[in-house]
């Protein structure tokens, strides 16, 4: 039997060739998030690529926080990122690492560059620095402080470190080439003054390294062989290599870039996600409609489905947009194979079986149609049941395969019933149905050859648990929210959340935990929300429907 074709991943070829040629003796990668927000699905791809390649080649992957900007960082984000990586099923090499672990070494290397005549303290204002830098079509100009004696720069750098210099007054810059066509090489900044409290080092430092200066040197300290990042860092690679070449680092890592994950019907800009949260368009960073890993987890995605999605999309250097339907397929495929079945009535309508005179029964049903290992569950059955209001019509066309007054339908995993009478309240609204059941139809068709075309779900009125159900859908109507008229906020789907209260679920769901996923038969895939609903009842979030209901025309238009 032929091996299945694996999606493209050019990085596999690079790593394999580097091992075979001896350029790398072992594979060591890293995932280096900045702890200034919650990770999103794009970060999930980076996690899977870095950890996955290390696993595949018998190497290691470090988790290292790029905590070089104390103004925006918080331990809340550190904890959420650690939780996300673990949830995805990956374990990093050794202890969690931080850029701040290397602040002393980085400062010593900055001093080395100054002594070698390769760096200087610059006193241009931020505005003048931008003017001197030039443009894409015009070269930059040397700073008037570029030839400052090394001794003077070293003394000023120490003053900066000790907090004796105001923010914005001085920077440490490296001497490369102010006429370079790559703006990143026009004497980039190594250190800025920041009188900010750091979540790990406190007030010990008053200067913080730039990402470009810190990143490659941290890779070298940790013995990283392949620094894998997204394409926006491609223009930074010459600077990455320059620092490695001009500093006495203990290793020579190499940077490789791949195309980031762009997903239709989704925004992943940290600024825009923050706007959604702060303006209360969603209820928080872990809102199940958000593309954050914490939001996807709360919605009920499994790590396996997300890893499968990343693998299917492949790894390339070509920018493209992946259709959200690919992710939804992976979710359905995983849950269909693994989620136990259960019944939950979302819009309850009571039925009374007038000829059910026996004591309540306990029926049994498989938890999964093809997974015997998941066992069976008990279904209490009695005189009064709940069915879904949408499953009944007093009169209906022929293609309505559910319960119609005067006709029969099968209750799933139970008996055939006939609707005989409608009971209304004073306003004329239907409040219940009087039905009869055929006691000879449990697990078999009617003996006289009657054909029952439809099957509906139900729960026992006496044994059901009350719950709240939240029906989540896509957050945006257009496949390209940013390109839509009026911008991404004007493109939000008004039906992205429907909250149903007073739902009735089968008794087996009383023992559900947040780790469980279920298929609510005929309704979709659901998970227990970690928060309780009104009246302290359990809340079940819809992960996804049983089938794709989106077409070329956006839903809701």
**Which of these is catalytic: 12, 34, 83, 393?**
34
Residue 53 φ/ψ, nearest 5 degrees: -65, -40
Q: Tell how strand 97-98 and strand 60-65 pair up.
A: parallel
Q: Tell how strand 465-472 and strand 262-263 pair up.
A: unpaired
Read off the pLDDT band of 533 (50, 70, 90). confident
**Which of these is catalytic: 146, 200, 270, 412?**
270
Strands, DSSP E only, in 36-149?
A: 60-65, 97-98, 119-122
Q: Tell how strand 458-460 and strand 384-388 pair up.
A: antiparallel
Does residue 336 register a pLDDT over 50? Answer: yes
Does residue 551 register a pLDDT over 90? Answer: no
Does residue 549 register a pLDDT over 50? Answer: yes
The pLDDT, as a whole number, for residue 557 is 41
CA-to-CA distance for 215 and 419, rounded, in angstroms? Answer: 71
3-state helix/strand/coil string of 229-247: EEHHHHHHHHHHHHHHHHC
CA-to-CA distance for 49 and 228, rounded, in angstroms? Answer: 8
pLDDT cut 90: percent of the chain above it = 90
The pLDDT, as a whole number, for residue 13 is 95
> For the residues 152-159, what does the mean pLDDT come to?
98
pTM above 0.85, yes or no: yes
Does residue 3 register a pLDDT over 60? Answer: no
In terms of C-beta density within 10 A (0-12 exposed, 13-18 middle, 19 or more buried), how is residue 384 classed?
Answer: middle
Which pLDDT tens digit goes with each residue over 179-236?
Answer: 999 999 999 999 999 999 999 999 999 999 999 999 999 999 999 999 999 999 999 9
What would the DSSP string read from start to end of 51-71? Answer: HHHHHHTT-EEEEEE----TT
CA-to-CA distance for 185 and 181, rounded, in angstroms? Answer: 8
Q: Is 498 helix (H, G, I), strand (E, B) or coil?
A: strand
The pLDDT, as a whole number, for residue 113 is 98
What is the number of residues in the chain?
557
Biggest CA-to-CA distance, the chain: 104
Active site residue 517: no
Strands, DSSP E only, in 225-313?
A: 226-230, 254-258, 262-263
Query: For 165, which DSSP code?
Result: S
Q: Highest mean pLDDT range out of 1-15, 98-112, 528-542?
A: 98-112
Which pLDDT tens digit goes with each residue over 386-427?
Answer: 999 999 999 988 889 999 999 999 999 999 999 999 999 999
**Which of these is catalytic: 12, 260, 347, 401?**
260
Read off the pLDDT band of 5 (50, 70, 90). low
Count of helices and strands (H, E) across the chain: 12, 29
Q: Tell me where in the chain the CATH 3.40.50.620 domain(s) lie.
A: 10-258
Return the CATH fold of 270-338+467-544: Ribosomal Protein L25; Chain P (2.40.240)
Which pLDDT tens digit goes with each residue over 231-289?
Answer: 999 999 999 999 999 999 999 999 999 999 999 999 999 999 999 999 999 999 999 99
Tokens representing residue 101 in the block = 């672990």
CA-to-CA distance for 22 and 167, rounded, in angstroms? Answer: 47
Where b means 16+ CB within 10 Å and e means fewer, 420-456 reads: eeeeeeeeeeeebbebbbbeebeeeeeeeeeebeebb
Query: Across all residues in the chain, what is the average pLDDT?
Result: 94
Handedness of CA 37, 38, 42, 46 (dihedral sign): positive
Q: Would you state the CATH architecture of domain 344-463?
A: Beta Barrel (2.40)
Active site residue 424: no
Q: Tell me where in the chain the CATH 2.40.240.10 domain(s) lie.
A: 270-338+467-544, 344-463
Task: Give the CA distances from residue 447 to residues 205, 353, 401, in Å, rounded to whole numbers and listed in that order.
Answer: 85, 20, 21
Which pLDDT tens digit goes with each residue over 419-468?
Answer: 999 999 999 999 999 999 999 999 898 888 788 989 999 999 999 999 99
Which pLDDT tens digit goes with each residue over 491-519?
Answer: 999 999 999 999 999 999 999 999 999 99
CA-to-CA distance for 307 and 315, rounded, in angstroms? Answer: 13
Query: For 402, which DSSP code?
Result: S
Return the CATH fold of 10-258: Rossmann fold (3.40.50)
The pLDDT, as a whole number, for residue 545 is 96
Active site residue 148: no
H/E element, 333: helix 324-338
Decide: 36 and 72 in contact? Cβ < 8 Å.
Answer: yes
């Amino acid at each position: 039997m032929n091996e299945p074709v694996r999606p493209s991943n050019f990085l596999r070829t690079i790593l394999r060739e580097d091992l075979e040629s001896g350029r790398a003796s072992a594979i060591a990668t890293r995932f280096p998030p900045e702890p200034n927000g919650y990770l999103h699905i794009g970060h999930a791809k980076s996690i899977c690529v870095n950890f996955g390649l290390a696993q595949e080649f018998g190497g290691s992957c470090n988790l290292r926080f790029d905590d070089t900007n104390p103004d925006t960082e918080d331990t809340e984000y550190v904890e959420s990122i650690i939780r996300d990586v673990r949830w995805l099923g990956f374990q990093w090499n050794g202890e969690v690492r931080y850029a701040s672990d290397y602040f002393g070494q980085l400062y010593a290397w900055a001093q080395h560059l100054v002594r070698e005549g390769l760096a200087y303290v610059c006193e241009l204002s931020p505005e003048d620095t931008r003017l001197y830098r030039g443009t894409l079509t015009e070269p930059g100009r040397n700073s008037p402080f570029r030839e400052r004696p090394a001794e003077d720069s070293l003394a000023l750098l120490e003053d900066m470190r000790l907090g004796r210099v105001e923010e914005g007054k001085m920077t440490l810059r490296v001497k490369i080439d102010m006429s370079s066509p790559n703006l990143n090489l026009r004497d980039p900044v190594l250190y800025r003054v920041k009188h900010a409290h750091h979540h790990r080092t406190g007030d010990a430092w008053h200067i913080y390294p730039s990402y470009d200066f810190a990143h490659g040197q941290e890779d070298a300290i940790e013995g990283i062989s392949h620094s894998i990042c997204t394409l926006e860092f491609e223009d930074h690679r010459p600077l990455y290599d320059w620092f490695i070449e001009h500093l006495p680092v203990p290793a020579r890592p190499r940077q490789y870039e791949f195309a980031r994950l762009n997903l239709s019907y989704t925004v992943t800009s940290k600024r825009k996600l923050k706007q959604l949260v702060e303006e209360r368009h969603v209820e928080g960073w872990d809102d199940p409609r958000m593309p954050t890993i914490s939001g996807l987890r709360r919605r009920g995605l499994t790590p396996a489905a997300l890893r499968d999605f990343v693998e299917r999309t492949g790894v390339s250097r070509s920018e493209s947009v992946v259709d959200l339907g690919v992710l939804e397929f992976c979710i359905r495929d995983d849950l269909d194979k693994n989620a136990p079945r259960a019944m939950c009535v979302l819009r309850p309508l009571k039925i009374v079986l007038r000829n059910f005179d026996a004591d309540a029964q306990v029926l049994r049903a498989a938890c999964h149609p093809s997974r015997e290992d998941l066992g069976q569950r008990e279904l209490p059955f009695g005189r009064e049941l709940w069915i879904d209001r949408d499953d009944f019509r007093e009169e209906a066309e022929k293609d309505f395969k559910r319960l119609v007054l005067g006709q029969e339908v099968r209750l799933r995993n139970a008996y055939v019933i006939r609707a005989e009478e409608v009971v209304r309240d004073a306003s004329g609204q239907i409040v219940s149905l009087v039905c009869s059941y055929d006691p000879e139809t449990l697990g078999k068709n009617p003996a006289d050859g009657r054909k029952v075309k439809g099957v509906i779900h139900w729960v026992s009125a006496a044994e059901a648990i009350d719950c709240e159900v939240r029906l989540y859908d896509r957050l945006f109507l257009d496949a390209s929210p940013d390109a839509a008229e009026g911008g991404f906020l004007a493109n939000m789907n008004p039906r992205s959340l429907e909250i149903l209260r007073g739902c009735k679920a089968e008794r087996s769901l009383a023992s559900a935990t947040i780790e469980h996923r279920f298929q609510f038969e005929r309704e979709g895939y659901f998970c227990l929300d970690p928060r309780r609903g009104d009246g302290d009842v359990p809340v079940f979030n819809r992960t996804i429907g049983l089938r794709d209901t989106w077409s070329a025309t956006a839903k809701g238009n």
